[in-house]
Amino acid sequence: DTAVSQTPKYLVTQMGNDKSIKCEQNLGHDTMYWYKQDSKKFLKIMFSYNNKELIINETVPNRFSPKSPDKAHLNLHINSLELGDSAVYFCASSQGRGPQHFGDGTRLSIL
Amino acid sequence: DQQVKQNSPSLSVQEGRISILNCDYTNSMFDYFLWYKKYPAEGPTFLISISSIKDKNEDGRFTVFLNKSAKHLSLHIVPSQPGDSAVYFCAASAPTGGNNRKLIWGLGTSLGVNP
């Protein structure tokens, strides 16, 4: 039973395209997150939603737009992809002060 | 400015010996600390945590020590096993208002346990 699942696992696309990454959690958690892990392996928070409400929005280009249709889903849409967007994107969820549970990541490569 | 630092990018130990992974932080608002383990091509997996009101938490082979005055925590793995070979991330949590919290991550330490 996958607790936090993201799709697709791999995404190869061209510069300028628009793409979406989906995330779903079946843990009943009320908070979901998107992280970016860059080439230096640094995990950086991008967004956090609590019960479908945006609570953390770090300095991220507005080409990145999260959407939470319900508290079990947090999707990430990226417009006009750039070379620097190449990274691994992780979705996570948590409940209260409990630990965050992560998906296995989406490896985005921009050609 | 990195608020959570893991100064050793890698560590190599012999199977059966102790592995000690270190983490330093700068923000005194952090009140909850976590260690995560990450295998290649997988997401980080929660390992163990400690609240700032404690100085030690133990779970099987894993023990986390917190020294608040030094703003330092460490993860001890004993005995180390080859399956422990992974990247270990230290993370620190602080309240950001209401019930919301923010997690700040270190850059990770790659542990290799040699048979």
Compute the mean pLDDT over every residue in chain A, rounded to the nearest whole number: 91
Given a cut of 50, the residues of chain B with pLDDT beneath it are none
Options 3.30.1320.10, 2.70.98.50, 2.60.40.10, 3.40.50.1370; CATH of B4-110: 2.60.40.10
Which residue matches tokens 């843990």? A27
Query: B89-103: per-residue pLDDT in tens?
Result: 999 998 877 777 788
Nearest one of A107, A90, A101, A103 to A36, comparing CA atoms: A90
- pLDDT of res. B101: 79
Task: For chain A, give percent helix, strand, coil, nearest 5.
Answer: 5, 55, 40
How far is the alpha carbon of A84 from chain B, nearest alpha carbon, in Å? 19
Measured between CB atoms, does B19 come within 8 Å of chain A? no
Measured between CB atoms, does B9 come within 8 Å of chain A? no
Residue range(s) defining the domain that contains residue A15: 4-96+106-110
At B95, which helix (H) or strand (E)? strand B86-97
CATH number at residue A22: 2.60.40.10
Q: Distance between CA A14 and CA A45 in Å, rounded?
A: 25
- pLDDT of res. A1: 62
Q: Distance between CA B105 and CA B34 in Å, rounded?
A: 9
- pLDDT of res. B1: 67
Within 8 A by CB and 6+ apart from A84, the residues are: none
**Which residues of chain A lie closer than 8 angstroms to B36, CB-CB?**
99
Query: A69-100: per-residue pLDDT in tens?
Result: 998 999 999 999 999 999 999 999 999 878 99
Measured between CB atoms, does B53 come within 8 Å of chain A? no
Find the angle CA(B72)-CA(B75)-CA(B78) to the nearest 5 degrees: 145
Torsion of CA B41, B66, B80, A90, to 10 degrees: -10
Candidates A34, A38, A41: best to mutate against B (most CBs of B within 10 A) is: A41
Q: Looking at the domain assignment, is residue A101 inside a domain?
A: no
Q: Looking at the domain assignment, is residue A51 inside a domain?
A: yes
Average pLDDT over residues A5-22: 96
Nearest one of A27, A103, A8, A6 to A72, comparing CA atoms: A27
Please report, for chain B, the start and end positions of each structural domain, with discontinuous segments joined by +: 4-110
- Asked if residue A44 has pLDDT above 70, the reply is yes
- pLDDT of res. B28: 92
Contact across the interface for A104 and B34, Cβ inside 8 Å: no
- Asked if residue A53 has pLDDT above 80, the reply is yes
Q: Looking at the domain assignment, is residue A27 inside a domain?
A: yes
Nearest one of A26, A7, A10 to A108, comparing CA atoms: A10
Number of domains in chain A: 1
